[in-house]
């Protein structure tokens, strides 16, 4: 009986310690969970420094896959970071050398409030990252804002980009009004960013039709990061929306059209950017194909990473490389 009591006491203490760690040090648990996810995806964290017009930027990124594999550079959306690609990368690092960067202004990369964050500015910075990685010819993918940057990069450097993977890309201003655009027009708060933990929960439900399971400590840390970056995220959003040279207008003016092989992927339940943008881009990009993902929202690579990866692998298999 004494041994049983001692065992139960030890078990109770172990559970109490675990619960205490779970709620008191969520950052350590979140960091461990993210590290394990990256490890499963074959990715590791790396850093570099670049300089643009006398201003330095510290860039943090993930890389993995065969050292001599075809390079694939991935760009996240606004308010997001490099880990948006971790789950889909698990299927891609088996074949490609994958790089997922924190674009300046986001994640762990430099985010000076007085810098400019227009699409053209980010294209210039991504070009320096690619150069520092030694990439002269590579494949490029992006989601939302990252999709717009990716397409703009291909327009500016068509000789470097072998193919484009655009997942619910921003910049198609002639598309039908999305739910988000209607909310903004009605004077409602922007649903892409969070000022509180409650906001963050609503954000996840807005951008994804099928949010993946996220452990509570990771969720808490992600919410804290969103809250800390709220003002800068809004600033960048406004700067991008007010800039000239939107993607569809730029592509329409190109003669000849951009010939880069392109896979356009869009969730048919996207509330952020209207799925009608897919058909518009398809018309403007003669060497493109469209995949509409049924029942998926704005972040296909997070909501359905397996499907997104298989579709991309099939697309790449069809290219003459």
Confidence of residue 35 (pLDDT cuts 50, 70, 90): confident
Distances (CA, A) of 245 to 95, 155, 167, 252, 277: 35, 12, 20, 11, 16
**Buried/exposed 114-150: b ≥16 CB within 10 Å, e otherwise:** ebebbbebbbebbbbbbeebebeebbbbbbbbbbbbb
User: Per-residue pLDDT tens for 226-242?
Assistant: 999 999 999 999 999 98
Residue 100 contacts residue 43 (beta carbons within 8 Å): yes
Is residue 144 flagged as an active site residue? yes
Model confidence at 61: pLDDT above 90: yes
* pLDDT for the residue numbered 321: 63
Specify the fold of 2-317: Rossmann fold (3.40.50)
DSSP string, 195-206: SSHHHHHHHHHH
Please say whether the beta carbons of 97 and 164 come within 8 A. Answer: no
- At 279 the three-state DSSP class reads helix
Please tell me whether residue 83 adopts helix, strand or coil conformation: helix
- More reliable by pLDDT, 41 or 309: 309
Distance (Å, rounded) from C-alpha 223 to C-alpha 139? 32
Q: How far apart are CA 54 and CA 120, in angstroms?
A: 17
pLDDT digits (tens, 9 = 90+) for 105-114: 999 999 999 9
Mean pLDDT of 186-212: 93
In the chain, % of residues over pLDDT 70: 91
Catalytic residue, candidates 109, 110, 139, 144: 144
- Per DSSP bridges, beta strands 262-267 and 138-143 are unpaired
pLDDT for position 172: 97
CA–CA separation, 278 and 294 (whole Å): 14
Cβ neighbours for 210, distance < 8 A, ≥ 6 positions apart: 295, 296, 297, 303, 304
Say which residue the tokens 């990439």 belong to: 135
Domain coordinates in residue numbering, the chain: 2-317
**What is the DSSP code string of 250-264?**
HHHT-SSPP---EEE
Q: What angle do CA 59, 126, 165 make, to 5 degrees?
A: 115
Spatial separation of the C-alpha atoms in residues 275 and 246, rounded to whole Å: 17
Please state the rounded mean pLDDT for residues 298-307. 97
């Amino acid at each position: 009986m004494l041994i049983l009591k001692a065992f139960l006491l030890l078990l109770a203490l172990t559970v109490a310690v675990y619960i205490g760690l779970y709620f008191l040090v969520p950052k350590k648990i979140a960091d461990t969970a993210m590290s394990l996810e990256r490890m499963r995806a074959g990715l590791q964290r790396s850093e570099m420094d670049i300089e643009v017009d006398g201003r330095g930027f510290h860039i943090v990124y993930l890389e993995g896959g065969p050292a001599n594999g075809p390079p694939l550079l991935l760009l996240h959306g606004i308010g997001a970071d490099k880990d948006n690609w971790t789950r889909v990368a698990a299927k891609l690092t088996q074949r490609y050398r994958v790089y997922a960067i924190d674009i300046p202004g986001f994640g762990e990369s430099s985010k000076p409030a007085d810098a400019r964050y227009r699409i053209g500015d980010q294209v210039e910075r991504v070009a320096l990252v690619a150069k520092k990685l030694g990439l002269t010819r590579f494949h490029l993918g992006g989601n939302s804002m990252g999709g717009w940057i990716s397409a703009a990069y291909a327009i500016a450097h068509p000789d470097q980009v072998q193919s484009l993977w655009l997942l619910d890309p921003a910049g198609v201003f002639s598309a039908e009004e999305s739910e988000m655009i209607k909310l903004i027009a009605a004077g409602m708060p922007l649903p892409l960013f969070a000022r509180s933990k409650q906001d963050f929960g609503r954000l996840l439900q807005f951008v994804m039709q099928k949010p993946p399971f996220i452990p509570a400590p990771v969720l808490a840390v992600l919410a804290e990061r969103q809250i800390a970056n709220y003002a800068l995220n809004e600033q960048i959003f406004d700067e991008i929306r007010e800039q000239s040279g939107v993607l569809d207008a730029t592509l329409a003016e190109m003669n000849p059209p951009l010939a880069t092989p392109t896979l356009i992927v869009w969730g048919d339940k996207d509330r952020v950017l209207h799925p009608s943008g897919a058909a518009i881009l398809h018309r403007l990009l003669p060497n493109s194909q469209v995949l509409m993902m049924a029942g998926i929202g704005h972040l296909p690579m997070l909501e359905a990473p397996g499907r997104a990866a298989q579709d991309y692998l099939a697309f790449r298999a069809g290219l003459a490389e």
